[in-house]
Amino acid sequence: MDETIKIKMICIVCPLSCDIKVETKKERKEIVNIKGCKCPKGKEYASREIIDPQRVLIAVVKVKGGHLPVVSVKTAKPIPKHRLFDAIRVISKIEVKAPIKVRDVIVTNLLDTGVPVIATSNIRKDLM
């Protein structure tokens, strides 16, 4: 008999903040039951969070010749949560040249996920 585990979580998708209870197989590959969702978004959130958790990564990248030494960046879409530390290692080694504009692509395909890393702020060239 496959062992099941029960997980409690709070949905963060909408302001209702539902208390969700998920029953899943021990390996977390199959959802047995989801309770406590007041909308369909909660059920989708809980399933995704158990089976394939993903996050948007926010970081900074070094800038050469800019009025600031770093530019803020983020992944354009969520990436698998278990790949976050690898992504941080890659991003920490990058240096870009100023000027940089919001939405400039800094990395086209982070860790072969198909997800680009984009700038979230403007950096102008240092005039000195």
Question: How do residues 71-83 score in pLDDT, each as one tens digit?
Answer: 999 999 999 999 9
Residue-wise pLDDT for 38-96, tens only, equals 998 999 999 999 888 999 999 999 999 999 999 999 999 999 999 999 999 999 999 99
Q: Which two tokens stand for residue 73?
A: 């960046």
Q: What residues does CATH 3.10.530.10 cover in the chain?
A: 58-119
SS3 category, 61: strand
**Which CATH architecture best describes the domain 58-119?**
Roll (3.10)
Cα–Cα distance for residue pair 5/9, rounded to 1 Å: 13
Classify the phi-psi angles of 23: left when phi > 0, otherwise alpha if psi is within -120 to 50, otherwise beta.
beta
Strands (E), the chain: 4-10, 19-25, 31-35, 54-55, 58-64, 70-75, 79-80, 95-97, 105-107, 117-119
